[in-house]
Structure 1
């Protein structure tokens, strides 16, 4: 029997597929729809210390090859999501979940993480170092000195399982430099990638989204090659104790297969989930299982990270 089960740190998941933060995760109702689907887990909307309205609309548009968005971190605040996942973990047969969070400043980040550290929540936390769509706020993960300093401060007090959501890197030396930093800390996972920041989509003679004069994060088919490159680059460079979650351009079971082949332990879907709804998990899971059966693979470990090169 083909199995798509997987592990992140000490946490088991019956299926390797889940949503990407930002899609189908704003409210308890949306999260419940993911939780009761074929997905192996969900991640909450990236939470800030206080609730945020986000950027003005239109701020998300589907395109021919994916999507563009500049959401601006709309969310209901850390207390809303922390309370929900804490309650869920105590229900019978509960799946393991991910709580996504970010501070609008380093001080906010520490306040939020200390709140989680002091809470009863025992699940996984994803610290978003890569939000590209908040005007005036740079992506932390592109500043290696700041990233190193922030992680050093975080791990001085945070003792629960923690991973980071990363933006795409485009230079080999940046993979080397980033991995050297991440390998210094007891990270449970890294998530590659967030959307490619500051793309521009035009309809006739006008931009298609309102914030930032139309500049927004690009997702969907456009980003899969970049996502696969980041997954594989970090798979080759990170300590084997740090799992990799692959995100970007996953529309079919074949796309998920390629993320795992590059080294991903879990795979998140975003744009196609927004377009199809939670039923996408059933379709993509079956397509992945069919590929595994055709190739004689019984588990993800049979092919995870075993990308072949040309001689």
Structure 2
């Protein structure tokens, strides 16, 4: 029988599946449910310094091939998630997870949030979210390569615990080259790609209106729509980043085959967002069964035998 065990930053997980930050992770109750699910691990809601209600409703809508959202970073604040992370780490040291951190105010808030974590008792992995596309009037940090360089330089001047970054999708080969050149300067443990494709628009055919309220209907696109873009980003960054920087593949994972393709492109762990929102926590049991069936059919004993082994037509 093949194994779906995944090794990520020195830990071995039963399988590579996680939630994507923003889905089923707002409260400690939801995080407890994730920890008890068939997922290999989980990530918390991206936390800002202060609690935020986020954008007005409706701000998330499931559509035919995925979802559109403009959530606006709703969360219960960094102290809430950090306090829970410290307790959870102490009580369940054998269940490592990822704490996600964002910023609403920009550069200085990113630095202050990371400084607070550095000074805390939490020693686990942190995901620094540089890619929230759904805050009105706020740009995505990771699309500014110079500012991303400055931010990581400032954080690494004092931060000694393990962390990685969550990235937006890139669409140009030159941009893959540029972001990799920035990230390769630092001792990052992972990159997570991709966040949703920003500023899409979906129209209700019955009403001829947009379907979400914030930003005039513009929102991040997730689900089946984004899988080719997600796979390209996983593949491109795997080819360009230092081998020590692992990849979390996120975007368009609906089936075990989708998960297999992310792994084939070089991902070590996988995050599920839209399909988790649509299907609930049972999605992880289904995905593990489907992925296991693919390994059996192909004669693989483990993920390590094919991870990153995507073929080309050269």
Query: Is the shorter-chain TM-score for this pair beyond 0.5, marking a shared fold?
Result: yes
Work out whether residues 8 and 189 of structure 1, in 8 Å CA contact, stay in contact via their aligned partners in 2: no
- Tell me the alpha carbon deviations over residues 109-161 of structure 1, each in whole angstroms, 9 at most, x when there is no partner: 11111111111112110000000000010001010000000011111111111
Q: Which residue of 2 aligns with 1:218?
A: 221
Q: Which residue of 1 aligns with 2:10?
A: 10
User: Which range is displaced more, 101-110 or 20-29?
Assistant: 101-110
So what's the TM-score if we normalise by structure 1?
0.98
Aligned-partner Cα distance in 2 for 1:172–1:206: 35
Equivalent positions of 1:216-295 (< 5 A) are: 216-295=219-298
Deviation at 1:13, TM superposition (A): 1.8
Q: Which residue of 1 aligns with 2:69?
A: 69
Aligned-partner Cα distance in 2 for 1:29–1:277: 15
Work out whether residues 111 and 151 of structure 2, in 8 Å CA contact, stay in contact via their aligned partners in 1: no
Q: Does 1:307 align with 2:292?
A: no
Work out whether residues 25 and 45 of structure 2, in 8 Å CA contact, stay in contact via their aligned partners in 1: yes
Deviation at 1:93, TM superposition (A): 5.9
Question: Secondary structure of the residue that 1:90 maps to in structure 2?
Answer: helix
Question: Secondary structure of the residue that 2:12 maps to in structure 1?
Answer: strand
Over aligned residue pairs, what C-alpha RMSD do you find?
0.9
Q: Does 1:101 align with 2:101?
A: yes
Aligned-partner Cα distance in 1 for 2:112–2:250: 28
Q: Which residue of 2 aligns with 1:90?
A: 90
Q: Which residue of 1 aligns with 2:80?
A: 80
Deviation at 1:10, TM superposition (A): 2.1
So what's the TM-score if we normalise by structure 2?
0.97
Deviation at 1:11, TM superposition (A): 2.8
**How many aligned positions are there?**
311
Unaligned 5+ segments in structure 2 are: none
Deviation at 1:190, TM superposition (A): 0.1
Aligned-partner Cα distance in 2 for 1:194–1:93: 28
Deviation at 1:92, TM superposition (A): 4.3
- Tell me the alpha carbon deviations over residues 218-260 of structure 1, each in whole angstroms, 9 at most, x when there is no partner: 0000000000000000000000100000000000000000000
Aligned-partner Cα distance in 2 for 1:148–1:186: 13
